[in-house]
Amino acid sequence: MSIGAHERLNLSEEEKRTIALTRAAELRKRISDYTDKKDSIETGFDLQDNISKNRESLLRYFSATEEEWNDWRWQMSHRITGADMLKEIFPFSGGRCEEIKMVGARYRWAISPYYASLMDPGQDSDPIMLQSVPSVEELDETGYSDPMAEEFTSPAPCITRRYPDRLIINVTNQCAMYCRHCQRRRNIGESDSHRPRGSMVAALDYIRKNREVRDVLITGGDALLLDDRRIDWLLGELDSIDHVEIKRIGTRAIVTMPQRITPELCDVLKKHPPLFINTQFNHPREVTPESKLACDRLAGAGVVLGNQAVLLKGINNDPHVMKKLNQQLLKIRVRPYYIFHAKQVKGTGHFITSVEEGLAIMEKLRGYTSGLAVPTYIINAPNGYGKTPLLPQYLISRDRGKIRLRTWENRVLECAFHSS
């Protein structure tokens, strides 16, 4: 029922309530496709029985204790790095193991025991396995080793600079798990290494000399794989630069090895506000009691948490999966920040979706869930020219004093604006 503004003034309270109830029923119907399916999209909380069984198998294989399992250094030193090891723990076929070995000869891989415990190897489409276990599809090397031209945007050691007032310090090539869609797989190499202190000092000197830099992102690899003392030193040095207003840390440890988020680390981070941490949850199955505990500790230390998901074919290129993920993230105090369109990195082409899929996901988020659960959809421009946001087209036309717009429900409306 369409009623003009003047007509609404003459309606009784009962008539207004009838209109509101009709509208509420209409809104409920609009999300029925999601409410019918959301319970079948399982989170890490829902899968605790399977995860516990996997953890018991891993503990037996490594002859480890629960105390060791909860030690991030143990997790790092016991990463799964070989197909034969993987087969002894999980029921991988001989043929699949041979494929893993073929890919491993070209691209290094490693999986933390914790992240391995989230897998369901009996399901070929398991989103955890797809992100962590090498696939023969990686041998198709269409794409680029450095699609963002980071080698040409590094004016000083460890620095990547693509924007006027902010930059990256790249401190390590080490990760708890080497994601199969990694944008920096060229940096993984054959061994883990943190950048030398001298290179970090040179990066800090560059920041001191460039007073327009107000925002510094510490990343890698995974920046939280530096030890607490080095993190404390680096954040303290940035605190001493008066024009640096905020500091950010890029890490996936919250997702792949939440044991790293210790009370001792949080005591360090608490000393250096304002501090923002962006992580990368890509699927609701990654939201577990352990990752929630890590986020609780970080939030308690005053850290502001954001998520930068990557749009990945077969993992999260589904509006319902992405909505469930973002809603679950808000429950553990992580703000959905970006959805990145996967980059054209060599060996990762099987993850790349169409832009239309990304826009369709955004169409099913805006208006259909909390604005807090709606990230920005981003494509990185080639050659290091930065993030470019993509949105469904809501503005249809504009003229003096008025615009025609399309709402999230595909209603086309004309709005008049009077400026003084």
Least confident of 41-45, 176-180, 285-289, 416-420: 416-420
Least confident of 172-176, 227-231, 408-412, 414-418: 414-418
Output the pLDDT for position 419.
61
Q: Which two tokens stand for residue 223?
A: 């920046």
CA distance 114 to 253: 11
CA distance 218 to 50: 35
Instruction: Provide the residue ranges of all domains of the chain, joining segments of one domain with +.
Output: 5-30, 48-132, 150-390
Determine contact, residues 103/121, Cβ cutoff 8 Å.
no
Q: Which residues pair with 111 in a beta bridge?
A: 80
Output the pLDDT for position 98.
95
Q: What is the pLDDT of residues 102-142, one digit of tens each?
A: 999 999 999 999 999 999 988 889 999 999 999 999 999 89
Q: Which residues pair with 166 in a beta bridge?
A: 215
Confidence of residue 190 (pLDDT cuts 50, 70, 90): low
CA distance 73 to 259: 9
Rounded to an integer, the average pLDDT of 258-271 is 98
Output the pLDDT for position 382.
85
Tell me which residue of 217, 222, 223 sits closest to 238, measured CA to CA.
Answer: 217
Q: Which two tokens stand for residue 172?
A: 């390590």
CA distance 64 to 150: 41
CA distance 374 to 313: 20
CA distance 411 to 255: 39
Rounded to an integer, the average pLDDT of 172-179 is 95
CA distance 131 to 296: 25
Rounded to an integer, the average pLDDT of 290-307 is 98
Rounded to an integer, the average pLDDT of 322-337 is 98
Mean pLDDT of the chain: 94
Least confident of 314-323, 360-369, 408-417: 408-417
pLDDT at residue 2 tops 60: no
Q: Which two tokens stand for residue 373?
A: 């659960």
Rounded to an integer, the average pLDDT of 87-107 is 92
Output the pLDDT for position 149.
79
DSSP 402: E
Rounded to an integer, the average pLDDT of 10-28 is 95
Q: Which residues pair with 279 in a beta bridge?
A: 307
Confidence of residue 213 (pLDDT cuts 50, 70, 90): very high
User: SS3 for 4?
Assistant: coil
Quote the CATH superfamily of domain 150-390: Aldolase class I (3.20.20.70)
CA distance 86 to 395: 52
Of the chain, the percentage scoring pLDDT greater than 70 comes to: 97
CA distance 61 to 257: 19
Output the pLDDT for position 124.
84
Within 10 A of 121 (CB to CB), how many other CB atoms are there? 19
Output the pLDDT for position 383.
82
- 140 HSE (CA, 13 A, CB side): 10
Output the pLDDT for position 418.
65
* Burial class of residue 80 (count of CB atoms within 10 Å of its CB; 0-12, 13-18, 19+): buried
Confidence of residue 4 (pLDDT cuts 50, 70, 90): low
pTM of the model: 0.94
CA distance 109 to 315: 19
Q: What is the pLDDT of residues 345-357, one digit of tens each?
A: 999 999 999 999 9
Rounded to an integer, the average pLDDT of 138-160 is 89
pLDDT at residue 254 tops 60: yes
Confidence of residue 1 (pLDDT cuts 50, 70, 90): very low
Confidence of residue 183 (pLDDT cuts 50, 70, 90): confident
